[in-house]
């Protein structure tokens, strides 16, 4: 079962949390003789019948499993993985939490949304993360994977919104893109006719081949890998929406959903789109080195680097705070994190960290994360 929280309200994906404790099996030769010797020393001289080994066995099993469970959850520092977009927000909360709460500062790692959920759902215990950040909502297949590995209760927390920016160096040309043209620039296959009834491998190498008003520059776009939630959102909110501007492509969704997805979401692999890993700062560096290239990342990174890069408009709309918040900007999405409830019961500080992240002082209209580029939830 998943428990939910919008903003400061939490949602729980529940599934009974059961920690399996390994039973202790003593060899038969180690049971009765040893227990009888102990009991004999307590005797009063009168011979007593041999004790029931099962009672002692149960006591020893209980002690052993208690020690085993304690060892299993011996870690005293929260471990967090997941989205590179949520990463700067999570690290800010973690640093403040470590300084003010009395708990150790959580360890936060940027692995991408998909990569984080894979690690998160791998199992219970100290070797697995407690929390994963995501720039998209958890999929049913991921929930099923969690269940398969014994993770039965998950708490989902929605923290705010983010826009996906298409940006380039401030020294480069200005871009005013439509969703259709973004699709034509980045899709693996594009329409071979005016209505999109058939497709062909993407032939476009320069921007002005797509639209004569665009610069005569090669199409070079740095972006996230398939494990990234930003990539998922780009595929669904950007590429797919551009694909649906062709009438026959839109009809395909009704007649053959799987073919539609493969043809309307797949990004080209011929070197025009370059995967730059989960580190969005690396994309910023690439744009500075090559002013003719474009990069794809979250609004927070755009906001932090406005002295170096500028954003393209999408369908005539800029990725600005208010326009993302009210849904006007076409490529915007929600941000989340997920908590493993079985760990929250034993790893110190998880509940307190969650409370800090969802507090008004963090994600409220005047919260400290708003200054980092988080778009707050609408009331």
pLDDT band of 51, cuts 50, 70, 90: low
pLDDT tens for 277-327 read 778 889 999 999 999 999 999 898 898 899 999 999 999 999 999 899 888
pLDDT, position 15: 34
Question: What is the residue whose two structure tokens read 């940006």?
Answer: 167
pLDDT band of 5, cuts 50, 70, 90: low
Instruction: Return the structure tokens found at 232.
Output: 């998922």
- In the predicted structure, residue 65 carries a pLDDT above the cut 90: no
pLDDT, position 347: 94
pLDDT tens for 143-178 read 999 999 999 999 999 999 989 999 999 999 999 999
pLDDT tens for 329-365 read 999 989 999 999 999 989 999 999 999 999 999 999 8
pLDDT, position 212: 95
CA 155 to chain centre: 14
The mean per-residue pLDDT over the stretch 237-265 comes to: 90
Return the number of other C-beta atoms located less than 10 Å from residue 329's C-beta: 25
- In the predicted structure, residue 29 carries a pLDDT above the cut 60: no
Q: What architecture does CATH give domain 2-15+74-160+335-372?
A: 3-Layer(aba) Sandwich (3.40)
Looking at per-residue confidence, does 72 or 123 come out higher? 123
Which residues share a beta bridge with 335? 160
Name the CATH topology of 163-333. Answer: D-Maltodextrin-Binding Protein; domain 2 (3.40.190)
Give the start-to-end residue ranges of the domains of the chain. Answer: 2-15+74-160+335-372, 163-333
CA 153 to chain centre: 17
On the question of a common fold for 2-15+74-160+335-372 and 163-333, the answer reads: yes
Instruction: Return the structure tokens found at 209.
Output: 């081949």
Stated length of the chain: 379
pLDDT, position 74: 65
pTM of the model: 0.69
pLDDT, position 3: 60
Which residues share a beta bridge with 274? 222
Percent of the chain at pLDDT exceeding 90: 63
**Treating both helix axes as pointing N-terminal to C-terminal, what angle do 350-357 and 87-100 enclose, rounded to 10 degrees?**
120
Q: Where are the beta strands (DSSP E) in the chain?
A: 2-6, 11-13, 79-82, 107-108, 131-134, 154-169, 176-177, 189-191, 199-201, 221-223, 273-275, 294-298, 309-311, 313-314, 332-340
Instruction: Return the structure tokens found at 333.
Output: 């999405």
* DSSP strand pairing (332-340 vs 131-134): antiparallel
Residues 6+ apart with CB under 8 A from 164: 230, 233, 234, 237, 238, 296, 297, 298, 299, 319, 331, 332, 333
């Amino acid at each position: 079962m998943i428990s939910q929280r919008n903003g400061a309200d939490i949602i729980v994906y529940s599934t009974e949390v059961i920690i399996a404790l390994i039973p202790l099996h003593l060899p038969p030769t180690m049971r009765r003789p040893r227990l009888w010797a102990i009991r004999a020393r307590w005797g009063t001289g009168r011979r007593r019948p041999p004790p029931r080994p099962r009672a002692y066995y149960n006591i020893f099993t209980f002690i052993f499993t208690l020690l085993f469970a304690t060892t299993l959850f011996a870690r005293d520092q929260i471990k967090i993985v997941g989205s590179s977009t949520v990463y700067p927000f999570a690290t800010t909360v973690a640093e403040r939490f470590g300084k003010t709460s009395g708990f150790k500062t959580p360890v936060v790692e940027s692995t991408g949304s998909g990569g984080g959920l894979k690690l998160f759902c791998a199992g219970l215990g100290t070797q697995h993360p407690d929390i994963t950040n995501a720039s998209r909502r958890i999929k049913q297949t991921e929930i099923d994977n969690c269940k398969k590995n014994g993770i039965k209760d998950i708490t989902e927390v929605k923290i705010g919104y983010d826009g996906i920016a298409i940006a380039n160096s401030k020294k480069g040309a200005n871009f005013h893109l439509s969703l259709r043209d973004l699709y034509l620039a980045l899709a693996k296959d594009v329409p071979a006719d005016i209505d999109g009834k058939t497709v062909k491998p993407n032939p476009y190498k320069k921007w002005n081949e797509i639209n004569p008003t665009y610069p005569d520059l090669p199409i070079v776009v740095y972006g996230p890998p398939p494990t990234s939630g930003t990539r998922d959102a780009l595929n669904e909110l950007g590429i797919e929406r551009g694909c649906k501007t062709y009438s026959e492509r839109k009809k395909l969704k009704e007649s053959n959903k799987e073919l539609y997805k493969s043809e309307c979401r797949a990004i080209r692999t011929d070197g025009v789109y370059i995967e730059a890993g989960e580190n969005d700062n690396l994309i910023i560096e690439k744009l500075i080195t090559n002013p003719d290239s474009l990069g794809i990342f979250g609004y927070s990174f755009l906001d932090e680097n406005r002295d170096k890069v500028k954003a393209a408009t999408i369908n005539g709309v800029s990725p600005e705070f208010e326009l993302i918040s009210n849904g006007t900007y076409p490529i915007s999405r929600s941000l989340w994190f997920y908590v493993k409830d079985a760990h929250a019961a034993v790893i110190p500080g998880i509940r307190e960290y969650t409370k800090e992240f969802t507090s008004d002082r963090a994600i409220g209209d005047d919260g400290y994360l708003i200054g980092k580029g988080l778009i707050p939830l609408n009331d």
